[in-house]
């Protein structure tokens, strides 16, 4: 599992990836304040599951 920064809204570390029915990531979810953040980060056809998760974690962790 990739480390994710705490929620920018409530400061909670109860952060997880939000996944669709195919287990593809479509956002990052805070279990504490129920915030769902989605990025325009479409999966790439040749990308592995781990590469997709890493790309999402980088997008989440690089926010200001």
Instruction: Give pLDDT tens digits for 24-63.
Output: 888 999 999 999 998 776 667 788 888 888 988 998 999 7
Would residue 34 be called left, alpha or beta, if left means φ above 0 and alpha means ψ between -120 and 50 degrees?
Answer: left
Structure confidence at residue 2 (pLDDT) = 75
Q: What is the DSSP string of 15-60?
A: EEEEE-TTS-EEEEEETTT--EE--S-PPPTT--HHHHHHHHHHHH
- Whether the model clears a pTM of 0.85, i.e. scores above it, the answer is no
Tell me the mean pLDDT in the region 5-25. Answer: 92
Q: How confident is the model at residue 9 (pLDDT cuts 50, 70, 90)?
A: very high
């Amino acid at each position: 599992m990739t480390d994710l920064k705490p929620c920018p809204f409530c400061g909670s570390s109860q952060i997880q990836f939000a996944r669709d029915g195919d287990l593809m990531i479509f956002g990052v979810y805070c279990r504490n304040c129920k915030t769902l953040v989605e990025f325009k980060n479409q999966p790439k056809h040749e990308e592995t599951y781990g590469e997709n998760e890493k790309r999402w974690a980088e997008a989440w962790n690089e926010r200001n």
